[in-house]
Amino acid sequence: RSGGETCGGQLHIVNIQDPQNPTFAGCYNHPDFGGTHDAQCVLYHGADEDYAGSEICLNSNGSAFIVADVTDKENTKTISTAFYPNTNYTHQGWLSEDHNYFYMNDELDEMNDVVAHTRTLIWDMSDLDEPILVKEFYLDSSASDHNLYIKGNLMYQSNYQAGLRILDITDPENPVEVGHFDTAPNADDVKGFGGSWSNYPYFKSGIIAVSSQGEGLYLLRKREVDL
């Protein structure tokens, strides 16, 4: 948290090609911002042809959203930094599978009363040099958001006391809620900690693992409902 002795609290890169003998490979550190809370790193295949095949990291740095090229571990580079209204704590996010959109949560905006409902920030990533915030999407709950992940055309949000929310992002700038499981049914869906901290929707079986701080682990399966 305070930076340690290597990478200033930002990306500490480890080579695990020999899994039993990991070795330090390099750092990414933006000098103007503090520690990286969370990052998603991918071999980029989105619309920006300038970075096709590059190893790109999307970093949630508390007070900024930072895109970095870490292809050369000895010469990592900042591509862009981006900001959004009512920043409280840039916490975490995930790319759409086509790498053209990034969905981000700010963990403390609800808690600090700068937004009234659960907010998801939607970034157009078709130009990595200039991410564009195209929408602030709000749910009907005032619960605080935490970790979100994307599989196919669905986004799986762990929103603390509102539990798991599943959103269809077939129209990437206009998500639609298609599923909900309340992991803390005895708590109101209001801002604050407690309830679902994270989830994992990537099992081949379709099972979704959802953790809830006071309740334990839930194993769920999304049902298709003909409306």
Instruction: Show the tokens assigned to 125.
Output: 């990533």
How confident is the model over 104-143, as pLDDT tens digits? 999 999 999 999 999 999 999 999 999 999 999 999 999 9
| pLDDT at residue 6, rounded to an integer | 78
Q: Which of 153, 45, 142 is nearest to 96 (CA)?
A: 153
Q: What is the 3-state secondary structure (H, E, C) of the chain?
A: CCCCCCCCCCEEEEECCCCCCCEEEEEECCCCCCCCCEEEEEECCCCCHHHCCCEEEEEECECCEEEEECCCCCCCEEEEEECCCCCCCEEEEEECCCCCEEEEEECCCCCCCCCCCCEEEEEECCCCCCCEEEEEEECCCCCCCCCEEEECCEEEEECECCCEEEEECCCCCCCEEEEEECCCCCCCCCCCCCCEEEEECCCCCCEEEEEECCCEEEEEECCCCCC
How confident is the model over 65-78, as pLDDT tens digits? 999 999 999 999 99
Longest dimension (CA), the chain: 56
Length of the chain: 227
| pLDDT at residue 1, rounded to an integer | 53
| pLDDT at residue 221, rounded to an integer | 93
| pLDDT at residue 112, rounded to an integer | 97
Question: Confidence band (pLDDT; 50, 70, 90) for 152?
Answer: very high
Overall average pLDDT of the 80-98 stretch: 97
Q: What is the 3-state secondary structure (H, E, C) of 58-103?
A: EEECECCEEEEECCCCCCCEEEEEECCCCCCCEEEEEECCCCCEEE
| pLDDT at residue 8, rounded to an integer | 86
Instruction: Show the tokens assigned to 42.
Output: 């991918």
- Taking the model in full, what pTM does it have? 0.95
| pLDDT at residue 224, rounded to an integer | 76
| pLDDT at residue 142, rounded to an integer | 96
Spatial separation of the C-alpha atoms in residues 81 and 84, rounded to whole Å = 11
